[in-house]
Amino acid sequence: MVNQNNLRWWILGTVIIGTFLGRLDGTIVNLALPKIISDFGITVSAAGWIATAYILANAIFVPIWGKLGDTIGRKKVYIFGFSIFILGSVLASLSWNLSSMIVFRVIQAIAASADYPTAMAILAVTFREGKERAQALGIWSVSFAAAVVFGPLIGGPLIDIFGWQSVFLINLPIGIVGILMALRFINESVSEVKTKVFDWWGALTLGGSLSGLVLVLDKGLDWGWLSPSALVCYFVTIVLFGLFIKIEQKSPEPIVDLKFFKIPAFVNTLVNNFVVFMGMMGGVFLLPIFAQTFLGYTATESGFLFIPMAVAMMIASPLGGSFTGKIQARYIIFGSTLVAAIGLFLFTGIDPKSTALDLIIPLVIMAFGLGFGMAQRTNIIASVVDPHEIGIASSVLALVRNISGAFGIAIFATILNNSTESNVLKISRFSTITTHNPAIIKEFIALVTLKAQVNAYADVFLISAIIVFIGAFLALFLKVKNERTDIKVQVE
C-alpha cells in the first residue's frame, strides 16, 4: 500500500510520464521524416502533412477532452486517451504509405490532446494547498522541456539502429508502464456540476476555426500569406469563430465558458503566455537550423546543445513554485520573463564563428527565466476558476500556448526570409567587385548571401527578445484576488 502522504507524488510522477511521452512524440518523429520520405518515395512538401495533421488534430480536440474530463471523470479520459495514443503509435509504425501515416498520426494526436487538460486538472485537485500545487505544476512543466531536449537524443540512435518505425514503437513499453501507474495511483475526480447536454455545436465550430488558423500558420509561408488558399483559411477561421462565440453565449453548458474572459487575472495570464511562448518558439526553433547550417553540427550534436537548457528549466520550475505565497505571482512572472528576454537578446551576437558555449549560455539563461515563472502562470489558471472547470480552463491555456508557438514559428520564419532578402540588397549596395572572373563572382555572391542570412538570424532574435520583453511588463498587470488554495473534488 502506498502511504497517502506519498500518493500525490506518485500521481505527479504518473502524469509526468504521460505528458513527457505525448510531447516526445511531437519532436522525435520530425527526426524520422528523411527516412520516411525515402521509404515512401514522397516529396518533402508532402511529408510536411505528417506534422501538420498532428498539429491540427491536437489543437482541435484539446477543449473537447477538457470538458469531457470535467464531466465523465478525469481518470477515465486520461487512461482512455493514453491507451488510444499507444494504439495509434503501434499503427503508425505499421504505416505503408503517406495516407496511412497521416491517418494514424491523427489518431495519435487526438489521443495525445487528452493529456494536458486532464493531467493539469488531476494535479490541481490532488495538490490542494496553493504553494504545494504550484511546486507540483512547476515540476510537471519540466516534462515539456525534457521532451524537446531528449527527442533528438533518443530519436537519433533509434532511427540509425532500428529504423524510423522505432520512434513509434518506443511508446509501447513506456506507455504500458504509464497506464498501469495511472490505474494504480490516480483517484477518479469529476466536476461537482453535472453536464446534461454536451456542447457539440460549440466543439465543431471551435474545431473548424482552429483548423483554419493552424493550417494557415503552418502552410502560409509556402502558400503565400495572401494566396487563395490562405484567404480561404482566414475566412473559415473568422466566420466559424464568430459562430462559436454566438453559440457559447446561448449554450447552457458551453464547451468554453466565456465568463473566464471576464476574470482579469485569467486574461492577463493568457496574454503573458501568448507573448512569451510566441517570442520563445519563434526564436528558438531556428537554433538547430543555425547550428547545422552555419556551424556544421549534426542533428544529434544540435540536440546536445539543449541538455543544459533542460537542466536549467528542471531547476527553475520547482524553485519558482516554492515562492508561491511569499512573493506576488506577477513579480515572479515579470522577473522570470525579463530574464528570458535577456537570454534571447544574447543570441543576436551569434555568427559562424560562434562556439557551443555561445549558444548554451543564452539558452540556459532563457530557460531558467521561462521555467522560473512557469508554475506561477499555470497555478493562476487553476486558482481563479471554479474547481469544476479546471479541466476546460487548462485546455484554454494549452490552446493559447500551442497557437502562440505556431504564430511565433510562422511569423519569425517569414521575418527570416524577408530579412535575408532585404539584407542581400543592403549588403550588395555597399559592396563592390572589380573582377569579371566567374569563380570570384560566384564566391562573392555566396559570401553576400551568407552574411545576409547570418544578419537575418540576428534580426529574428532581436525581435523575439523585444516581444518577450514586452510580455514581462504585461505581467505587472496581473492581479490575483482571493486565490483559492483549496480545491474540493468528488472522489469515486
> 287: part of which helix (H) or strand (E)?
helix 287-294
C-alpha neighbours within 13 Å on the C-beta side of residue 311 = 8
DSSP state letter for 260 = G
4-198+253-491: CATH homologous superfamily? MFS general substrate transporter like domains (1.20.1250.20)
Q: How far apart are CA 121 and CA 382, in angstroms?
A: 8
- Specify whether the CB–CB gap between 317 and 138 falls below 8 A: yes
Q: To which residue does cell 465543431 refer?
A: 204
- Specify whether the CB–CB gap between 56 and 216 falls below 8 A: no
Collapsing DSSP to helix, strand or coil, 334 comes out as helix
Q: What angle do CA 241, 242, 247 make, to 5 degrees?
A: 95
> For residue 253, what are the CA distances in angstroms to 202, 249, 277, 387?
10, 10, 30, 15
For residues 377-388, average pLDDT: 76
C-alpha cell at 473: 511588463
Q: How far apart are CA 109 and CA 286, in angstroms?
A: 24
- Specify whether the CB–CB gap between 270 and 397 falls below 8 A: yes
Strand partners of residue 189: 491
Share of the chain above pLDDT 70, in %: 86
> 60: part of which helix (H) or strand (E)?
helix 44-72
Q: Which residues lie below 8 Å from residue 157, measured CB to CB, with a gap of 6+?
A: 300
Q: What is the mean pLDDT of the chain?
A: 80
Name the pLDDT band for 3 (thresholds 50, 70, 90): low
The pLDDT tens digits for 203-244 are 888 888 888 887 888 778 778 888 999 999 999 999 999 999
DSSP state letter for 194 = P
Q: To which residue does cell 531536449 refer?
A: 149
Name the pLDDT band for 490 (thresholds 50, 70, 90): very low
- pLDDT at res. 489: 36
- pLDDT at res. 365: 93
User: With the CA atoms of 251, 257, 259 and 263 taken in that order, what torsion angle do they form, in degrees rounded to the nearest 10?
Assistant: 180
> 223: part of which helix (H) or strand (E)?
helix 200-223
Could you give the residue ranges of the DSSP H alpha helices within 186-328?
200-223, 228-250, 264-284, 287-294, 299-304, 307-321
The pLDDT tens digits for 137-191 are 777 877 776 776 677 678 778 887 888 899 899 899 988 999 999 998 888 876 6
Q: Which residues lie below 8 Å from residue 390, measured CB to CB, with a gap of 6+?
A: 70, 120, 121, 124, 125, 382, 487
C-beta atoms surrounding 213 within 10 Å: 22
> For residue 326, what are the CA distances in angstroms to 115, 187, 215, 320, 322?
31, 31, 43, 11, 8
